[in-house]
Structure 1
Amino acid sequence: MEIEPVKNQLKTPKSLWYIICHTLCEQVNFSGIKAIMVLHLTSELNYTQDDSMMIFHSFMLMSYLMPLCGAIFADSYWGKYKTLIRLSVVYAIGNVILTGSTMADNFSFDTQRYITIAALLIISIGNGGIKPCTYTFGGDQFQLPEQKDQLATFFNRFLIAVYLGILLAKFFIPELRASIHCFGRDSCFPLAFGVSTLCLLLGIGGFFMGRNLYIKRKPENHVIFRTFGCICYAIYKKITSKSDNAHHWLDRSKDKYTLIEISDTKAALDVIHIFIAFPVFNALYEQQFSRWTFQATLMNGKIEAINWEIKPDQMQTIYPFLSLIVLFYFKSTVYPFFAKFGIRTPLQKLILCHTFAVFAFMSTTILQYVIFGEITTISRHEGRFSVYNDFNCNVHINSSTMPIDDIVESLGTSNFKCTPTFNKEAVNITLKFDNSCSSYHDKLLYTEVTISKGKSISYLLTRTLNNDTILRSINNHDDLKKSKNGNPRLRILMNNNLKTDRFFELTIPGKKYFTPYQVSSFASEHFKEVAIGNYTLRRGGEVISTNIRLMPATIYTLLIHNDSRKLESKLFASDRGNHLHVLWQLPQYVFIVFASTIFFSTSVQFSFTEAPLRIKSFIAACSFLAHSAGNLIVVLTSSLSIEQQVHEYLFFTGLMFLDTLLLAYLSSNYKYKTFKQRTIDFEKGQIINENTQIKDLPSNKT
């Protein structure tokens, strides 16, 4: 007869430290990949931001879809330990391939893309496969309910290891990427990926060293398939059976499945029912590693006091740093504070997390709106035209038929708004050059401009190759739409004799490996998206202009003037954006930190304690499936290519608000359960396993 140990004789297993070490190193690896991947896809592999979003979140989708396979292997075939070891090796192989792909300069560009995607697929299989096993394997080392408090302490330490790994990765991996130059580039992605791979290998080695200390539960034959079978068979019986005497619809399967299997399936479905509200939260959570990083690229990260710049992907460091602080004060401060407002149960805490997520994306939306700044709006009844003066003297413009009367300064511009009678109307104007234009034989120019309702048209006052003065239109109309990714848009205006000059180029001083923009590529005079930076205009070895600053979300026109004496340029900006400091992202990070830290801590403990022992990995896999569904939401939204990013953020804010209401509704009737768990070690021949549902707690609290 087995004698139950006294509660105070049960010590915390030493094997847990090997599991926590493995978790720490694995998080450094995976979080490092997440931190720099979207920038790798855009800057190194030249994917657009929307395409990068779809690739990155498809990778995350697979990483959170594979836990189901990992749970099947762990619960039905290999057991958790062997699943962790074998899939960690697969995980490491994918990392080696990814690191190698960043150094493969001898491969074609398309081949590098294919290798990268293949590596991400392999990583997602390995990483996703071990996700449902790590913390559940740690939980198997305890005897419940006697060690319930020790289990909670383990989960807390487990999360501290997770966030510490994330913190180390989010700071050092982007620093390695940006601060070191290698392989002829201004960055060093191979070093960043290589260091994260090394961390993973160390974690696998440390976990293997503790192999003789672990309690390893023997997998039950096809437990997950039996769970699915129980559900499907009960549905089949409900459809085909005429009598309906069953207390619960799953009870119809009792002629084929045991009472324990039916009871466990009921408990599992109750938990999964709550998981319905998780995907939207996860969709918002994951975007701090993609959309928020892109948002940070539009902001100023310089800290002048210490002569250091916060990299866009380093802003993610705030998340684990604040999360660790919150974790340390969970029991002493955070939870007692919530309790004062009646927030005590797990589901109440999850509802609060959803509310914080709404505020996080509200902050993101407001910040995006401020960054994009001014946007030109032209009434559908009005038309606008702009005149750029390529002469180094003032020109007076007036019209006898429209209220047009202004002076365009030397190498300057003026904008005019009119209300035409028709949708498109030609207006006669007169241009009079002032006395400083004595070198030009034309003092007056009679011409016309076209005004179109709801549109803006630009004109350049310049000379032809025959030295005739003309006012020529610049394309049909101005496309003043800002880029969704917030990069500045630039067009270059110049004389015809300069358009074919291949010696003109725009460079960024200090960026050794930056590919200059050839001015001849702007000959069409259309607006073209360019990188943010401080440019220098050169013609061969001659510097024409310096300090040409192109800031985010701004429309620019660069006028290059040529006369007999010198070349010069002038930059005009319209629809200005705002180059805010990157620390303005702090409010959204603070909200998402409180939301996600409490969410994951609560959901991990909720899914473990509310799940029957036999299928804890299956329940964990289902929670990861909810995470996978969240990434699918992001992929589908990115595929829509919503024109303005601020509208996309508004969409997610509204969706999160509705999801919060859904979780509150699902929580209202949930009944909490308590299971008795005793440990088992089949390899040592000790059978000390028991799984019994003790009671259902009342549902008057959510």
Structure 2
Amino acid sequence: MGKMKDKDVDAETHGKGQRSPKLCGTNYPVSIAFIVVNEFCERFSYYGMKAVLTLYFINYLGWDKDLSTAVYHAFSSLCYFTPLLGALIADSWLGKFRTIIYLSIVYVIGHVVKSVGAIPDVGDSTLHIVLSVVGLVLIAFGTGGIKPCVAAFGGDQFDEENTDERRKFFSIFYMSINAGSVLSTIVTPILRGDVQCFGGDCYALAFGVPAALMVIALVVFIAGSGLYKKSPPEGNVLARVCKCIGFAIRNRWRNSKNGPKRSHWLDWAEEKYPKRLIQEIKMVFRVLVLYIPLPMFWALFDQQGSRWTLQATRMNMNFGGGFILKPDQMQMLNALLILVFIPIFDMGIYPLVGLCRIKLTPLKKMASGMILAALAFCAATVVEVYVIKTVVEPPPAKESLIQVFNLMDSDVRVQFPEHNVFSEPFTPYEDPSGYTSLPLTGESQLQTVTVSHNGAEYQCGLTFTERAAYSLILRNPAQPGDTVCKLVEDHITKSETGAAYLRFINTHTENMNITVGKEELFAPANYGISYNISVPRGEYKRVVCETDSNKYEIDLGLLDFGAFYTVILTQESNGLTPRKMEDIQANNIHIAWQIPQYVFLTAGEVMFSITGLEFSYSQAPASMKSVLQAGWLMTVAFGNVIVLIVAEGAGMEQWVEFILFASLLVAVSIIFSIMAYFYTYVDADQLDKIYGEDANDEKVKSSDSKNNETVSMADMPKQTKM
């Protein structure tokens, strides 16, 4: 879910100007209340919209799983590329306050466009796709653009002497992130599934409520305007860093043969830039090199909202007592576990490890977090292997699938001319034994099927198409010469919402109108077959069947998650008798089996993400913390790009894909551990002692630099290796 990634805390930033009013009896500025409420509403809007996004792509726009996963992660990636743009705008042009205002307006417009795109009566399918994509792009620019500004703006509100209050504020700020996430991932799936609008799931409302919360976030933030400390733009340190790097590269290219040798390529910038800035950039580069393997962790982490949600749709979500979890609500477990795990790790696990005389450095924690995330995907693989046992896989090329319904009055045998597909006879009205593979000679093939019944043989010419599934329905002939065969193409793909599919075979001599819950369908007389309908999981005890002459009520019992049922309606002396057959097995793996993978992944997040942020800040000088924050967010963006590439390009089974990601993360964690072993920790605060307080003033250096030798990393204060 990525709440850790939203802890964009610049603890070195603070406001300048007059003192702001305090909350009663505390040293906390009144203004932070507006900022915390703003963050809660904004995170509600973001995670609420994102929770239902994958199912929206599949069930509303009609995209397949791979395309839906790819677009989901492309959007997530864009959300973590755009913070760099937001930081540039805030630092170089508008300042934090106005940047938050203007980009929040873009954010609101994106939500509104996205919500309008989910209204079925608005244009054709192409317009829905265009509105959805435009809305997502605007949301990405809005949420990403304000991401590096809001937390730092909150820190600006505190006076310099209130450092303890500022530190506690960031904890409160982080809690508001998780509170908004937990609440939204509970509420928006309910709005999607339990509220019906426009004849189906109400995605317009599920997106509309987050839009309303973003409007509230903007209004609340503006309401506190008169109380804020608003620091003016101070120039963008990232631009300064880029200029220094560019000058060093150009200077080395021009003078490498004639000039004196330099111990580091960045030292070629000494003619124009101060040595402290150069040293700070070296420190940042050393951390950024360690960032190179990190995107693989986020590639696994962000699949909670895509692949893991899709896995949940094929599981049993009933917890008893009428409580049924929705597949997109399972993501809330991550936020809940974070709130539990943070104190457990800080006050329990880490001290216990210390008692064992094991020095658990930040980089060791991060490597351990990677291993835990890999274990999460191993657990997801085990669950997936059992989940797919209830799924009927589509046949490959030059094959079809077939099952037989025997509606005759005695056993029958079915023979194909070239293949012994069925060896056993079929008992009347028994459940189909499952789909059987039927080889074909081409894309389609006419097969002459022989049906043996009570000593008589019937020939049926049936055409089968590759990659399709069929039901062969056998019935008694009404008169000599009648065909006994009816071939029906089946729908075998399970519902992505956990709904059950249902169809009826009407053996009655009259046409029949059938009402199942809120759905109505028509079954023709004399073994006519209705079309398929999707119904929510539940007990259906009063299904109404009407003919021209009679009205019947039948009890279908439980229609379970993901199952496909064929109900045969037969006329008997006591009325209409339903015979319910389960063509495709219901989801029998409970969604609670996803809990271990969420536990492993969240534990990994606590060790990896919190520690990574703390490490980044401790190893960067104050002026470079925003640069490293941008680099940290970029690792999240590139992690989503990895998933996008695999989802679109690999084309492998889901459990194999999970194993691939787990294996890649283990390999990357080994590489990261080797890199970390050779990393030497530094104390960034010691720069002032080495270079002096005024060493960072920008000035053109004298060409005579004999007495200005660069202090190497070896001269920096050291702590320990990984």
TM-score band by shorter chain is: 0.7 to 0.9
Q: Structure 1 residues 364 and 405 mapped into 2: Cα distance closer, same or farther (>3 Å)?
A: closer
Unmatched 5+ residue regions in structure 2? 1-25, 688-692, 698-710
Instruction: State the TM-score, normalized to the length of structure 2.
Output: 0.75
Whether 2:462 is the aligned partner of 1:445: answer no
Aligned-partner Cα distance in 1 for 2:470–2:44: 53
What CA RMSD, in Å, does the superposition of the two structures yield over aligned residues?
A: 4.9
Instruction: Map 1:156-555; keep pairs closer than 5 Å.
Output: 156-181=171-196, 183-211=197-225, 214=228, 216-239=230-253, 241-242=256-257, 245-305=261-321, 307-340=322-355, 342=358, 344-373=360-389, 387-395=404-412, 406-412=424-430, 431-433=452-454, 443-445=455-457, 460-462=473-475, 467-468=480-481, 508-509=516-517, 512=518, 533=537, 547=556
What's the counterpart of residue 616 of structure 2? 607
How far apart are residue 567 of structure 1 and its match? 8.2
How far apart are residue 568 of structure 1 and its match? 7.0
Aligned-partner Cα distance in 2 for 1:601–1:395: 66
What's the counterpart of residue 684 of structure 1? none
Task: Kindly tell me the number of residue pairs found equivalent between the two proteins.
Answer: 656
**1:304-325: per-residue Cα shift (whole Å, max 9, x none)?**
33x2322222222222122112
How far apart are residue 391 of structure 1 and its match? 0.8
Whether 2:636 is the aligned partner of 1:630: answer no
Instruction: Map 1:665-676; keep pairs closer than 5 Å.
Output: 665-676=674-685
What's the counterpart of residue 698 of structure 1? 718
How far apart are residue 125 of structure 1 and its match? 0.7
How far apart are residue 505 of structure 1 and its match? 7.7
Aligned-partner Cα distance in 2 for 1:385–1:202: 56
Q: Structure 1 residues 457 and 96 mapped into 2: Cα distance closer, same or farther (>3 Å)?
A: closer
Aligned-partner Cα distance in 2 for 1:66–1:492: 49
Judge conservation of contact 2:314–2:494 (CA < 8 Å) in 1.
no
How far apart are residue 100 of structure 1 and its match? 3.8
Aligned-partner Cα distance in 1 for 2:644–2:400: 39
Aligned-partner Cα distance in 2 for 1:418–1:313: 34
How far apart are residue 293 of structure 1 and its match? 2.1
Aligned-partner Cα distance in 2 for 1:569–1:63: 53
Judge conservation of contact 1:384–1:416 (CA < 8 Å) in 2.
yes
Aligned-partner Cα distance in 2 for 1:92–1:415: 50
| Paired residue secondary structure (1:408) | coil
How far apart are residue 124 of structure 1 and its match? 0.9
Q: Structure 1 residues 488 and 474 mapped into 2: Cα distance closer, same or farther (>3 Å)?
A: farther
Unmatched 5+ residue regions in structure 1? 1-10, 434-442, 679-687
**1:231-273: per-residue Cα shift (whole Å, max 9, x none)?**
3443444555236722222112222333233223222222222
Aligned-partner Cα distance in 2 for 1:213–1:659: 47
Q: Structure 1 residues 371 and 134 mapped into 2: Cα distance closer, same or farther (>3 Å)?
A: same
Judge conservation of contact 2:415–2:451 (CA < 8 Å) in 1.
yes
| Paired residue secondary structure (2:556) | strand
Aligned-partner Cα distance in 2 for 1:399–1:296: 39
How far apart are residue 367 of structure 1 and its match? 1.3
How far apart are residue 287 of structure 1 and its match? 1.6
| Paired residue secondary structure (1:78) | helix
Q: Structure 1 residues 120 and 431 mapped into 2: Cα distance closer, same or farther (>3 Å)?
A: same
Amino acid in the other structure paired with 1:24: F
Judge conservation of contact 2:69–2:306 (CA < 8 Å) in 1.
yes
Aligned-partner Cα distance in 2 for 1:97–1:227: 38
How far apart are residue 470 of structure 1 and its match? 5.8
Q: Structure 1 residues 171 and 490 mapped into 2: Cα distance closer, same or farther (>3 Å)?
A: closer
Aligned-partner Cα distance in 1 for 2:618–2:362: 11
Aligned-partner Cα distance in 1 for 2:308–2:629: 28
How far apart are residue 579 of structure 1 and its match? 2.5
How far apart are residue 70 of structure 1 and its match? 0.8
Aligned-partner Cα distance in 1 for 2:593–2:610: 27
How far apart are residue 632 of structure 1 and its match? 1.5
Q: Structure 1 residues 428 and 314 mapped into 2: Cα distance closer, same or farther (>3 Å)?
A: closer
Judge conservation of contact 1:670–1:699 (CA < 8 Å) in 2.
no
Q: Structure 1 residues 228 and 544 mapped into 2: Cα distance closer, same or farther (>3 Å)?
A: farther
How far apart are residue 583 of structure 1 and its match? 2.2
What's the counterpart of residue 42 of structure 1? 58
| Paired residue secondary structure (1:431) | strand
Judge conservation of contact 1:372–1:578 (CA < 8 Å) in 2.
no
Judge conservation of contact 1:75–1:614 (CA < 8 Å) in 2.
no
